[in-house]
Each structure stands twice: as C-alpha cells, then as structure tokens.
Amino acid sequence: MIEEEGIVMETQGGLAKVAVLAKSACEKCASAGVCHPEGEDSFMEASNPLGAKKGQKVKVVLAPQMYLKASIILYGIPMAVFITAAIIAKNLAVSAGAAADSDLWAFIAGSLGLLVSFFFIRGYNKKVERTQEYKPVIVEILGE
C-alpha cells in the first residue's frame, strides 16, 4: 500500500481534502523538490469513511494496483498510440512512394494519435472522477 500522512483541510460529504505532509525520507531524495516543492502544499481528495474532521492528522492509503493502473492509462496508452501511429504512417508513406517524407508523416501521425489519446483519457478521467475506484482512502486518524 502507498501510504501518506496529511492534515484534513476540509470535508464535504464522504470526501476530505488532505494536505500531504512531506516524509522524512523525502529530505534526502533528489526529486523531493518535484513532489513537495518548498512553500507549496500538496493536496489530495480522499474518501473519508472514518469521518475525519478539519485539522485532524490522518493516514491516507492508495492501493498500489490502482496507482499502477492509473500510470499505465496516463503514460502507457498515449506512448503506445504514438509509436503505433508513427510506424503505420511511415510504412504507408514508404509504400506510397514518399520515402523521403516518411519521417515527417510518421511524426504528424504520431502527434495526432497522441492528441486523440489524451482527449479519450480526459473523457475517461471525467467518468472515473464520479466513482471511488481511484480515490485514496483515509484509514486511520492519527490525532489533532
């Protein structure tokens, strides 16, 4: 399980907006400035089955398979579409006698495929936002 600690900033219905606290392990990480930029809070929306209230410190968990699935959808699918469209366009350009411009056609087709895949992912994201499937869950209230 991917666990984070945070402070509940606000609640609304069965959801809570949680400010994620930087872990001590982050201090020595070279990428810490990307995940937790100084002076900038990271927030996440989490399911709140325990009824945590504003100001409470909580533990939030995200199932690793959901994290992996979301990563594949966000990064894997667009890259696969880009590569596939580029290969198909290059082969079509070569077979049509436009071998000199085949790289250009591959780039254009790959870019268009990438753009189209992002629109499909955006639509899928709007559908997923209405479900609880990918939301992290508050599993423990640690204190005030």
> Which two structure tokens, joined as six digits, stand for 55?
């100001």
Mean pLDDT of the 93-119 span: 93
**Co-location of 51 and 83 in the same domain:** no
Residue bearing the bigger pLDDT, 47 or 93? 93
pTM over 0.85, yes/no: no
Q: What domain range includes position 118?
A: 65-129
CA distances from 48 to 4, 107, 128, 133, 136 (A): 14, 45, 18, 14, 9
**Co-location of 6 and 58 in the same domain:** yes
Neighbours of 143 (CB within 10 A): 7
**Co-location of 114 and 124 in the same domain:** yes
Number of domains comprising the chain: 2
**Co-location of 79 and 54 in the same domain:** no
CATH code at 15? 2.40.50.140
Q: Tell me the pLDDT band of 28, cut-offs 50, 70 and 90.
A: low
Cβ atoms of 106 and 98 within 8 Å: the answer is: no
Letter string b/e over residues 25-42, b meaning 16 or more CB atoms within 10 A of that residue's CB: eeeeeeeeeeebeeeeee
**Co-location of 9 and 57 in the same domain:** yes
**Co-location of 33 and 73 in the same domain:** no
pLDDT over 90 at 32, yes or no: no
Q: For the chain, what is the mean pLDDT? A: 83
**Co-location of 11 and 43 in the same domain:** yes
**Co-location of 30 and 13 in the same domain:** yes
**Co-location of 58 and 76 in the same domain:** no
